[in-house]
Amino acid sequence: MLKAYGKYFGVVTFAATAAAGMSLATAGAALAAPCTGPGAPTDTETKCLTAVQIPGNPLRSFDISWVNPFLNQYYFADRSNAGIEVINTASNTFQLRLTGFVGIKLNANGTVNNNISGPDGVTSHGIWVYGGDGDSTLKVFNVFTPPTFTNGVPGIAPAQVISTGGTTRVDEMALTADGKLLLAANNAEDPPFATLFNANGDSGVSNVSKIIQIKVDPTIIPPGFGLSLEQPAWEPVTQRFYTSIPIIANNPAGCNYGQLAGPITCDGGMLVVDPAHPAAVYGAFDPATNTGVVPLNNCGPNGATVGPGSNLLLGCTPNNNPSNTTTLVINAINKNYSHIAGINGSDEVWFNSGDQRYYTGSSANRLNGATTATPVLGVIDGTSVLIETILQGSGSHSVAADCINNSIFVPQVAPLSVVGAGGDTTGVSAGICGSMNGCVAVYTHPTTSGTACGAIFGNTPYYNAP
């Protein structure tokens, strides 16, 4: 099976693609060398290696990323081209597009409406990739499917499309280690909800189905104020999903979650779900069952990832609570926590078991009272010490890493002058990409001291390829 799969996803694919007449939209601009300027410093441990150019429209809007190291594949939700892009992590080349998404939808003022655009969340296990769309559907893809070509670009259509019953996007999601259960958040519904699905595991046939819709008690997430659920993560020791909640009521008592004039002063929470005994509504945290909403200290998080020792790193951001200045690590077992200074404003976060480091897509990073963001890639070691930050282009909120070769992937939008609202305003992305069309930047952290994939339960999928 893998040998046959290589026909479509190895060297032959790229040659066939070129023969079919595919030309990268960035080809002309790509004459410039990537990895230059402030996004490619020479004095950091994490080095800019190359930039992968994406065929089609310049990148204006994208969302979450994921890596399946055992298939040498990186996936990212590219709304600009209405698909999940698949990149070969061994050769750092574009392979194909998972199709059928709604793409970019605009607000009346011409900005991107993230709530109804897609794709959004993405995750994978084995041959299956799961993507959330702006029309409130979950789309399921078998990446072993032979691709078809559209305008020279190889693509795969979904094997299954499942509605969550909402009207806005299916956003971030997580799978159990065996790939048999999936939790996905509809963050833009009001009130927001999550959906627990039966997923495909290692099956060769897609048979995804809904189990239950999950909400949070309205005294914790009051409806009518645009509050949300964000990135979930699976922690295998406790056998629970842990989902970031940006803002919850009464944390601390009397705080403003939007019911009062002025800035938000409420911190967020962490929803703990036992998928073996799911509930339709979760209230305050119950230590007896290790379920419910844990109030967080000085953290309104978006991202969540599992690192060593059952620790979860949460991407606290001043976009949720302006007073948040740090990043939080909290233990899934005892709920002890600590703060990491010098980094905040993360959306997606990722633990890479290959080099024992966390990586943060800190596009909203604001330190020392700054009113404007300085987007960075944050690098934090497994003991929760900030190693370094590396400047990124505007909106670089997505990050994922390959634990086999220790490559870190950070999508970059095209400049404002190319795509308009939503484009890069820093000038950093063009230097990283070597083009004016955006790209996926590839960073690397060569190491001989890390842990092999699968030895630490983080974001790594556990799968033996057929």
In a domain, 155, yes or no: yes
Query: 297 lies in a domain?
Result: yes
Q: If you write DSSP's letter for every residue of 416-463 in order, what string do you get?
A: HHHH-TTSBSSSHHHHHHTSSS-EEEEEE---SSS--TTSS-SS----
Identity of the amino acid at 375:
P
Report how many domains make up the chain. 1
Determine, yes or no, domain membership for 464.
Answer: no
Q: What is the pLDDT of residue 74?
A: 98
- pLDDT given at position 454: 57
Kindly report the number of other CB atoms within 10 A of residue 218's CB atom. 13
How high is the pLDDT of residue 122? 98
Q: Identify the CATH number of the domain in which residue 197 sits.
A: 2.130.10.10
Print pLDDT tens along the chain (466 aa): 333 334 334 433 333 333 333 334 433 344 579 999 999 999 999 999 999 999 999 999 999 999 999 999 999 999 999 999 999 999 999 999 999 999 999 999 999 999 999 999 999 999 999 999 999 999 999 999 999 999 999 999 999 999 999 999 999 999 999 999 999 999 999 999 999 999 999 999 999 999 999 999 999 999 999 999 999 999 999 999 999 999 999 999 999 999 999 999 999 999 999 999 999 999 999 999 999 999 999 999 999 999 999 999 999 999 999 999 999 999 999 999 999 999 999 999 999 999 999 999 999 999 988 989 999 999 999 999 999 999 999 999 999 999 999 999 999 999 999 999 999 999 999 999 999 999 999 999 987 655 567 543 334 333 333 3
For residues 59 and 80, the answer to whether their CB atoms sit within 8 Å is yes
Residues 315, 305: Cα–Cα separation, whole Å: 9
Residue with tokens 């370094």: 388
CA nearest 156: which of 165, 172, 145, 166?
145
Residue 89 lies in a domain: yes
Tell me whether residue 466 is in a domain: no
DSSP 110-136: SSB-TTT-B---EEEETTEEEEE-TTS
- What's the confidence (pLDDT) of residue 220? 98
Q: Is residue 457 part of a domain?
A: no
The 8-class DSSP code of residue 177 comes to T
Beta bridge partners of 142: 128
Does any domain span residue 26? yes
The domain containing residue 323 runs over which residues? 2-444
Per-residue pLDDT at 369: 82
- In this structure, is residue 461 part of a structural domain? no
